[in-house]
Structure 1
Amino acid sequence: MLALLGACAPRPQGLMRPVVAAEATEQGRSVDLLVATNRQVVADPDVRYGNRRDPHLHLTAVSVAMPKGRPEGTVQWPRTTPPQPQTDFHVTRLQTLTTVAQGRGWMRQHRRGGHVLLFVHGYNTTYGEAVYRFAQITADSGVEAAPVLFTWPSSGSLLGYNYDRESTLFSRTALEQTLRLLANDPSINQITILAHSMGSFLAMEALRQMSIRSGPLNPKIQNVILASPDIDIQVFARQFTEIVGPRPRFTIFVAQDDRALLLSRLIAGRVDRVGDINPAEEPYVSGLARAGIVAIDLTRIDDTGGSHHSRFADSPEIVQIIGRRLAEGQQLTTSDIERGGFVMVAAGALHTVGAVVTAPVAVLEAGSRPVPDISGTLAADPDALRTER
């Protein structure tokens, strides 16, 4: 399994060193991102942030350019250092932001209707890889939202699964800080969270922690999209029920042929992962229906990736659906499929999904818990996350 998942080109290097194209015609679309991370800064300018954990939150404004004629759903990873603008994704601008005010200034300049799309990447991902992947998702989705990336200290190694799992737990507070910084920004009125794989576990943990800390989530957090979520199904049930209502709208993308989640399930003692359930079977149909979560089965969608773990980003149609429907505050419905807006993507899965299944796990009792008040303004410092009476 490791050989299969690792059977790819050598890992791209030199991703974060800014490159200036000799001519503007050498590059296609450019995407501006706000990147929040709790990775430690490293001296290498080609890397910027490594795989070590940092208790502080760092903000960076990054611009990524793409080569002309790029097929949608693809990332042209650099084959040389530095990247070649004619053929590769490449960073054109990078600015470290040292204050919350600078972050809000970036948001005011890049806000699109007050909507933010916050992406949380998965396991085995470097800082530069997370930046390039989210740039691709932003460009291909066509979403009218300010793109914000939260990148946590993944080891960037196939053998680093346990380190990455611990890093997600370490990163809960940093992601909570990021969400509160966004929610407390008066220029923002809607937040959509898009999380992939192990990043879904981190997203759920951060939302659960926020709710335990201060009750119902900020109503600006309207949509949570979990793509191939690498979460123990029972853990997900507990996370979900411990988020005090009213909750955001939840959508999960699942696939039963996801080889990365198969490996995760074996590591976890053969416990089902949320991302590889069959939402047309019990107990998931009735359980997820009670939870009100939309589950979309992508198992039969054509996918050139060997692991079938990133269909949500590799399929141009799916990523556009995310951008044009879910991330614009609208939820996918059966009528979207019947009208053909989604049928071209999921036609092969319709008999499995039964159109769109509103269903995942049995809902567990949340129980009683203290709900402290917290500071309404967060600085990029973990000490700012405190209880105020």
Structure 2
Amino acid sequence: MSTLGPAGAADPLLGVRIEQAVVEGDLDAAIALLETARADETDPRTIRDLLSRLAELQELKGDRAAAARARAGLAAQIGASAGQTAPELVPVLRALASDQRALGDLAAAVATLEQALAIARTAALAEAIPPLLRELAAIAEAANDSAVAEAANRVVASHEESARRLEETSRAFDPDPEKEFTRVKIYYATDRARSGSAVPNEFYGGQRGELELGTATVSIPEQHRPGQIEKPSWWTFQFREDPERHVVLQSVTPGSPETVFGEMRQQATASGSPEAFVFVHGFNVPFHEAAQRTAQMAYDMNFDGLPVLYSWPSRASVMSYIADTAVVNLSGRRLSRFLEDLVAKSGATRIHLIAHSMGNRAMTDALELFALRYRGKNPAFDQVLFTAPDLDAGLFAEMMKTIRPIANRITLYASNKDWALAVSRQLHGDAPRAGQGGRSILHTAEVDSIDMTGIGEDMLKHSYYANNPSALTDILSLFWRDAPPDKRCGMQEAEGENGSYWIYSPAACGDDNVLLSTLSYLRRGSVASVKDARLFLNRFIMPATADPEERSKLEKALGKLFGN
């Protein structure tokens, strides 16, 4: 079996074979494929995807007993990996209760719904509670067994008291200077369809929809580590998202284009920073994770402009690689029109673009179409970053010739240890991918090619562009002063099979967090030279009387930031 990574994730073509069997009406064959894959799988995320699809097909087949077994297994898998009070258990348990009702086991359905209700209260999923209460009430009304009806009514009746106690002990999200978190407002455009849920993490699903704009709020804890997305962990007894400990998507608010672009213009004017960056996520990413990543990057870089997410309808499943490839190019056309509107209506005069993994397919398509229509005298975009692009290298190089005139600088971040791209290369007849690094890294006059292999083991997460503060520092250097590679910290020129390129060596830059925080201050002060930086340091950051060791670190950071 081909794998998606060191944990042994499923063959990305498995989803294609399963869906083909479903289309042909052979549900037994599709189920057999899923069960065989499940028996061989060890990766927890993949096991969950397999069990979820298995339950759906068993229900479609009409075998609710088998569907219930699959969902019970899925709940057990989630509980083992994410904890017994993980919020993602709620929809699984609700579906399991539906199976149990269909099988006539109403007592089991009541117990399952009670468990889901307890988790929803603990995780503060207010929007998930009313449907659970309605289903319990329906069971109480329809049950012929008085004991079952009494049990359902007892659960419903106890909810009010439990909710009252939770209200007394839970943290509020209202603005409070004593709270140890910061709210980051981001803007978004998406062609995902709404799921119908009001829960922020579930607001948009993985199906295609029409282009929609809006704003979202993400909280970042005070103790946040740059490059990380802090989440609840059952082994530390953290059972719910807490904005003082975790990165939390707190709200999603769709709006008309006129309203959203109006808010952008207002913020750009009020902040005095008419700058924006647009992030396009990759394969296997749900909307809420993409929103969290966008906010995290903006926060870590102390970005005072407009953080913008474009979220295309990835199904967020390792079995949906082919399905994602089918939809991402359509999203590229919609992204192209959105970028035109962003340039014309946002009030931002400097716009940077960051695409990751499969999201680069949408970005390259969008920019090629944009370039063919653009009639401006100056480049429409400042920095364009293609990070780990899952795209044919030859096609990428050709497209850059068309795209180059609309960007001040184009940067490619690649790695020779990126397993997701290695699998993609297998699927595409061993054709080199644009995001693969090493001595065979892509070389073209239009692009600064950077081998980011030195980031280390984080390569396995296929997200090194934002999971490591070193990469964020380099990105912010580009945003700040359009510095070429030889003027940035940690860059070493090398000669590859196709021409020269740059190797990023983060160890040469010292303390990542010192560099990142120092750079964010200097950028806000519009500092452009090492001399001005030292003056800014003395006046605003650290006086000459400060701790010598700390001052020495900052002095070294300054030199590295300016390539000295």
Q: Which is greater in Rg?
A: 2
What are the residue-to-residue correspondences of 1:167-178 with 2, within 5 Å? Answer: 167-178=327-338
Match of 1:269 in 2: 429
Q: Please state if 1:331 is matched with 2:489.
A: no
Q: Which runs of 5+ in 1 are unaligned?
A: 337-341, 360-389
Match of 1:154? 314
1:1-389 to structure 2, matched below 5 A, reads: 1-2=3-4, 3-4=7-8, 6=43, 13=88, 20-21=172-173, 24-46=177-199, 47-54=202-209, 56-78=210-232, 83-98=241-256, 100-111=257-268, 112=271, 113-185=273-345, 187-214=347-374, 219-243=379-403, 245=405, 247-278=407-438, 280-281=439-440, 284-285=442-443, 288=444, 291-304=445-458, 307-323=460-476, 325-328=477-480, 330-336=482-488, 342-343=489-490, 357=501
Aligned match of 1:376: none
Aligned CA distance change for structure 1 residues 214 and 321 (closer, same or farther; 3 Å): closer
SS at match of 1:50: strand
1:82: Cα distance to partner?
5.3
The letter for the 2-side match of 1:84 is D
Q: Tell me the SS of whatever aligns to 1:245.
A: helix
Q: 1: CA distance between counterparts of 2:267 and 2:276?
A: 10
The 3-state SS of whatever aligns with 1:45 is coil
Query: Structure 1 residue 239: deviation in Å?
Result: 2.0
Question: SS at the partner of 2:474?
Answer: helix
Contact 2:188 2:310 in 1 (8 A): yes
User: Which secondary structure state, in structure 1, belongs to the residue aligned with residue 369 of structure 2?
Assistant: helix
- Would you say the 8 A contact 2:386–2:412 is kept in 1? yes
Quote the Cα distance in structure 1 between the aligned partners of 2:214 and 2:318.
Answer: 27
Q: Is the 8 A contact 2:332 2:364 kept in 1?
A: no
- Paired with 2:208 and 2:447, the residues of 1 have a C-alpha distance of 33
| Cα offsets for 1:272-326 (capped at 9, x unmatched) | 1111133x558x44xx1xx231111111223345x15211111112112212x21
Amino acid across the alignment from 2:244:
Q
Q: How far is the alpha carbon of 1:188 from its aligned partner?
A: 1.7
Write out per-residue CA displacement over residues 168-200 of structure 1, whole angstroms, 9 at most, x where no aligned residue.
Answer: 111122201210111112622111101111111
* Residues 320 and 308 of structure 1: CA distance in aligned 2, closer, same or farther (over 3 Å): same
**How big is the alpha-carbon RMSD for the aligned residues of Structure 1 and Structure 2?**
3.0
For the Cα contact (< 8 Å) 1:16–1:45, is it kept in 2? Answer: no
Do the aligned partners of 2:262 and 2:346 also contact (CA within 8 Å) in 1?
no
| Residues 217, 142 of structure 1: alpha-carbon distance in 2 compared, 3 angstrom cutoff | farther
Report the residue type matching 1:105 in the other structure: G
Report the alpha carbon displacement of residue 258 of structure 1 after superposing the two structures with TM: 0.6
Measure the CA separation in 2 of the matches of 1:351 and 1:273.
20
Flag the 1:16–1:315 CA change in 2: closer, same or farther, 3 A. farther
Is the CA contact (8 Å cut-off) linking 2:335 and 2:363 kept in structure 1?
A: yes
The Cα of 1:144 is off from its aligned counterpart by: 3.6
Contact kept in structure 1, 2:219 and 2:247, CA below 8 Å:
yes
Residues 1:217 and 1:294: Cα distance change in structure 2 (over 3 Å) = farther
- Structure 1 distance, partners of 2:244, 2:367, is 41
Shift of 1:219: 2.5
TM-score (norm 1): 0.78
CA apart distance, 1:20? 3.8
Change (3 A) 1:234 1:333: closer
| Cα pair 1:27 1:67 within 8 Å, conserved | yes
SS state of the match for residue 319, structure 1?
helix
**Aligned residues of 2:388 and 2:436 also touching (Cα < 8 A):** yes
| % identical aligned pairs | 25
**Secondary structure at 2:246 match in 1:** coil
Counterpart of 1:38, as a letter, is D
Equivalent pair of 2:401/2:446 in contact (CA under 8 Å)? no
Aligned to 2:138: none
Q: Distance in 2 between matches of 1:106 and 1:243?
A: 29
Comparing both chains, which one has the higher relative contact order based on Cα–Cα distances under 8 Å and sequence gaps of 6 or more? 1
Residues 332 and 361, structure 2, Cα contact 8 Å, conserved in 1 = no
CA contact (8 A) 1:233 1:272 kept: yes
SS in 1 for 2:483: coil
- Give the residue type in structure 2 aligned to 1:295: S
Change in Cα spacing, 1:358 to 1:293, as seen in structure 2 (3 Å) is farther
Determine if contact 2:493/2:501 at 8 Å carries over to the other structure. Answer: no
Q: Deviations over 1:91-125 (max 9, x none)?
A: 33432212x22112221233252111000000000
- Unaligned 5+ residue runs, structure 2? 10-42, 46-80, 89-122, 128-170, 504-564
Task: Report how many aligned residue pairs link the two structures.
Answer: 338
User: Which stretch has the larger CA shift, 76-85 or 185-194?
Assistant: 76-85
- 1:117, 1:33 → 2: CA distance? 10
Q: Hey, what's the Cα distance between the residues in 2 that align with 1:309 and 1:140?
A: 19
The one-letter code sitting in structure 2 at the alignment partner of 1:95 is T
- Aligned with 2:188: secondary structure? strand
Residues 121 and 246 from structure 1, CA distance in 2 versus in 1: closer, same or farther, beyond 3 angstroms? closer
Equivalent position amino acid for 2:361 in 1: F
Residues 117 and 16 from structure 1, CA distance in 2 versus in 1: closer, same or farther, beyond 3 angstroms?
A: farther
Local SS of the residue matching 1:177 = helix
Give the distance between the partners of 1:74 and 1:60, measured in 2 at CA: 25
